[in-house]
Copies of this chain bind each other. A is one copy, B any other.
Amino acid sequence: MSDVVSIDPRSGEVVEVVAVETGPAEVDRLAQAAAAAAQPLDALGRAARGALLRALADALEDRRADIVGVADRETALGTTRLNGELTRTTYQFRLFADVLDEGSYVEAAIDHAGDSPMGPRPDLRRMLVPMGPVAVFGASNFPLAFSVPGGDTASALAAGCPVVVKAHGAHPATSQLVFDVMSAAATAVGAPEGTLAIVHGVDAGARLVQHPAIRAVGFTGSLTGGRAIVELIEARPDPVPFYGELSSLNPVVVTPAAAAERAAEIGRGLGASVTLGAGQFCTKPGLSFVPTGPAGDSLVAEMAGSFAGVDPHVLLSERIALAYAEGIEQLTSTPGLTTVARGDAASGSGYVAAPLLLSAAAGSLPRAAHEELFGPVAVVARYTDETELLTALAELPASLTMTVHTGDEDDELPAAVTRALGDRSGRILFNGYPTGVAVTWAQHHGGPWPSTNTAHTSVGTSAIRRFLRPVAWQSAPQSLLPPELREADPGIPRRIDGVLVLPAGGR
């Protein structure tokens, strides 16, 4: 069995052996334990699962210094960023506890028996119930918020689904530490054995998604990785839902009026957004449309300042560093793309990467500029007029986000840009930057393929819905109904005979 090692990306050296890769028998045992935990975890009810989520948040908070320390050593993302990420992670657990308290998420509906144009209708009651054990694939780029304690895990546990996490190979020590902390906390508050498990290794992950006990898969990662998992799932006798967040270009449009009014501010903002976390955000603005002319020139010059002269960024893993090196080699040799700024060439040990800003004419934008490339690289597409801009936008792939920077003098252009890209975007931003995704009720982090393959992803409260399925009860005795569907007011919003009714006591 191969060792699972933790590498310091600042040096490229192995720091410790974390575990051995999880073998097939152990994967099966963990998946079966998760299956055994499914009914008891559901039976805990919403209040007790809310308490479990809050206990997990508290436990992570208690070990903040240790967790951030290991994660920084293993990812080089810096303690400021990682402290923020842990805060986001614990906030997320507590938000899902609030979602459980509020109770709308079960979508309880009661239609009493009655007549219909098709004849007598039986009593029908419907709500969402947990799907069963969920496999979660941790992402490389957020060792906390999209990994073992991330949105997939939080939303699946909230839904009442046991979770088996496949730890990401780029941060196994962080994954194992966080798992140990969470597992102990879950046991302490009486969660069923098998509620949470972890596996290490690519083969273990493949076996996991094909295990009969696994009822859904959450994934944040590359398009290639996502398609590989889809193939494994489609080969099951019973394909299960796959929720993938895959690839995103995140186009930005700066209108001529915006450039005229705020060239320096927007240029700095874009540069900071592209290079944040060494350019390893799924919402990195990879392609920005900037008008030709002096205002646009100033904007690009300001943006270039973020790219030239900064210290080399450290990437998360050797794999990402190699892909970045290949990618920028391809981009810098693509006809039609001009290098605007390049940071110091990578030197020394570790997974260092020089930031790179390229430019092209929007009217003849090479296809290479449509591809997401992880790391501190971006392309600026210069457009001469609205027609050239809108023609170029029509060719773009779908993304998690689109952004428009507007000026006071703008009239129709922002609406035209939104119309042009809106059908291929999950979040439409005005005068902001797509990195930094707030966790709220109204958030949406998703978009048509290739950004995601489903309506919902792991960010925001609707993430819970991915791990629930509807069940209708017909003419059921009260005693065999879940509490949420009995006649007595359970204190949650319900749709009764077609009318949405808030709980009697209010909230």
A interface residues with partner B (beta carbon < 8 Å): 38-39, 84, 87-88, 91, 98, 102, 104, 107, 109-111, 116-118, 121-122, 124-126, 131-132, 215, 230, 234, 238-241, 398, 406, 414-415, 418-419, 422-423, 425-432, 438-446, 448-450, 453-456, 460, 462, 468-477, 479-480, 493, 495, 497-500, 502, 507
Question: Once the chains bind, are A238 and B448 in contact (CB under 8 Å)?
Answer: yes
Q: Is the CB of A124 within 8 A of B449?
A: no
- Contacts known (A39-B419, A234-B230, A502-B502); A475 close to B430, Cβ less than 8 A: yes
Q: Could you list 12 examples of A-B contacts with CB < 8 Å? A: A88-B118, A102-B500, A109-B441, A121-B438, A126-B460, A234-B234, A238-B448, A406-B477, A422-B471, A440-B498, A441-B497, A444-B470
4 nearest A-B pairs in the assembled complex, by CB-CB distance: A444-B472, A109-B442, A111-B442, A238-B449
Q: Complex: how many Å from CA A357 to CA B406?
A: 71
Residues of B near A439 (CB, < 8 A) are 116, 118
Q: Are A470 and B441 touching (Cβ within 8 A)?
A: no
Closest chain B residue to A114, Cβ basis: B440
Q: Are B91 and A428 in contact (CB under 8 A)?
A: no
Contact partners of A480 in chain B: CB under 8 A:
414-415, 418, 430
User: When the two chains form their complex, are residues A469 and B493 in contact, meaning their CB atoms are under 8 A apart?
Assistant: no
Docked-complex contact A442 and B495, CB < 8 angstroms: yes
Partner of A453, one of B107, B239, B453: B239
How many copies, total?
2
Contact A111 to B440, CB < 8 A, known contacts A118-B84, A238-B449, A498-B98: yes
Question: Cβ of B240 and Cβ of A472 under 8 Å apart?
Answer: no
Q: In the complex, what's the smallest C-beta–C-beta distance from A207 to chain B, in angstroms?
A: 19
**Considering the chains assembled together, what is the distance between the CA atoms of A469 and B456 in angstroms?**
8
Residues of B within 8 A of A398 (CB): 238
A-B contact sample (17 more), CB < 8 A, given A87-B117, A111-B438, A499-B507: A111-B443, A121-B438, A126-B443, A238-B398, A418-B480, A425-B471, A426-B471, A427-B472, A429-B475, A431-B475, A444-B472, A448-B469, A456-B470, A462-B470, A493-B500, A500-B502, A502-B502
Which residues on B sit within 8 Å (CB–CB) of A440?
A: 111, 116, 121, 124, 498
Contacting pair A476 B430 (CB below 8 A): yes
Interchain CB contact (< 8 A) of A432 among B469, B475, B477: B475
* Cα–Cα distance between A231 and B415 once the two chains are bound (Å): 38
Contact partners of A418 in chain B: CB under 8 A: 480
* A432-B122 in contact (CB<8A): yes
Please give the distance in Å from A39's CB to the nearest CB on chain B.
Answer: 7
What are the residues of chain B within 8 A of A406 when measuring CB–CB?
Answer: 477
